[in-house]
């Protein structure tokens, strides 16, 4: 990786610089801007501890956001992204800097005004993205200790979505849509089978994960074979679960605005029947 030449320090933690090819970049790192002057060179050993924003739109949005964020808060956010990077062990998409900084700054502002927001999809998020949820719990702990705050538990769910978005490049809007879809599907299942699924149970965890992977296959247009003999057997033996599976598939089709392979119905019916037996 080449060296960077400082053009302007925006604060103690953010610099505008140019790379070897003269391209403007934003360098983000704890203390990176401290005592830096124009034309200073940033060496490679420091760069390893930095984030480099190359996308012009993301740069512009980040610079616009900076004046609204307290220096101590920004420092904590940058360290939080370091934690996410280290724990996820995968490159993070650039958009995380703007989205995550904006989210945390706003969450802290709401908290201080006594306006903390409840997260209606906390259990779904925990079941959908367990690894990201674990990292998010540590990040919330770190932010609370660092800034002597008490961010609510719901923030773990919101941050988990930001982490999943940064790793997969899916948008937060899409991830919210998928969480809401899973909630809707579970409500339909409970209603049709006249059962109540304990959100702390392994049955709930398995169901949410099954729905998650079904949704992902649908989005990625992955073919799943339909074993015809099994389909006919399930239709005859378990008509309630078979019809419910079709109903769920139709909800997914409408929400995701795409077609679904018939094979999904077979696997969903089997899962619903197993769930029904276990909970009964």
Q: How crowded is residue 134: how many other Cβ atoms within 10 Å of its Cβ?
A: 15
Domain 177-279 falls in which CATH fold?
PTS-regulatory domain, PRD (1.10.1790)
**CATH number assigned to the domain covering 1-54:** 2.30.24.10
14: left (phi over 0), alpha (psi -120 to 50) or beta: beta
pLDDT at 1 over 80: no
pLDDT tens digit sequence for 240-275: 999 999 999 999 999 999 988 888 999 999 999 999
pLDDT tens digit sequence for 40-79: 999 877 777 889 999 999 999 999 999 999 999 999 999 9
pLDDT at 209 over 90: yes
Per-residue pLDDT at 3: 87
pLDDT tens digit sequence for 150-203: 999 999 999 999 999 999 989 999 999 999 999 999 999 999 999 999 999 999
End-to-end CA distance of the chain: 60
Per-residue pLDDT at 59: 95
Angle, helices 172-193 vs 239-256, to 10°: value is 160
- Sequence-ordered alpha helix ranges (H) in 116-227: 122-128, 130-147, 154-168, 172-193, 202-219
Per-residue pLDDT at 140: 98
Average pLDDT over residues 218-238: 84
257: left (phi over 0), alpha (psi -120 to 50) or beta: left
Largest CA distance in the chain: 76
**CATH number assigned to the domain covering 56-170:** 1.10.1790.10
What is d(CA 254, CA 36) in angstroms, rounded to the nearest whole number? Answer: 54
- Show me where the domains of the chain are located: 1-54, 56-170, 177-279
Same fold, 56-170 and 177-279: yes
What is d(CA 181, CA 185) in angstroms, rounded to the nearest whole number? Answer: 6
56 vs 232 pLDDT, higher one? 56
114: left (phi over 0), alpha (psi -120 to 50) or beta: left
């Amino acid at each position: 990786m080449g060296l960077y030449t400082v053009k302007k320090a925006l604060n103690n933690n953010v610099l505008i610089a140019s790379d070897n090819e003269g391209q403007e970049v934003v360098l983000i790192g704890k203390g990176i801007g401290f005592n830096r002057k124009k034309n200073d060179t940033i060496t490679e050993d420091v760069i390893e501890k930095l984030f480099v924003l190359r996308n012009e739109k993301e740069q512009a949005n980040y610079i616009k956001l900076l004046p609204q964020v307290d220096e101590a808060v920004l420092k904590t956010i940058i360290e939080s992204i370091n934690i996410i990077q280290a724990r996820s062990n995968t490159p993070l998409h650039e958009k995380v800097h703007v989205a995550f900084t904006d989210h945390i700054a706003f969450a802290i502002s709401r908290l201080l005004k006594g306006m903390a927001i409840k997260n209606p999809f906390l259990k779904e998020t925990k079941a959908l993205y367990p690894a990201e949820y674990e990292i998010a719990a540590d990040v919330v702990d770190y932010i609370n200790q660092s800034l002597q705050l008490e961010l609510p538990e719901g923030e773990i769910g919101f941050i988990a979505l930001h982490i999943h978005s940064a790793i997969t490049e899916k948008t937060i809007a899409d991830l919210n849509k998928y969480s809401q879809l899973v909630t809707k599907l579970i409500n339909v299942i409970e209603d049709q089978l006249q059962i109540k699924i304990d959100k702390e149970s392994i049955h709930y965890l398995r169901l949410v994960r099954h729905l998650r992977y079904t949704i992902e296959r649908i989005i990625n247009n992955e073919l799943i074979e339909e074993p015809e003999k099994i389909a006919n057997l399930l239709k005859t033996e378990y008509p309630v679960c078979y019809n419910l599976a079709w109903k769920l598939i139709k909800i997914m089709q409408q929400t995701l605005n795409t077609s679904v392979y018939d094979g999904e119905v077979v696997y969903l019916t089997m899962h619903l029947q197993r769930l029904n037996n276990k909970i009964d």
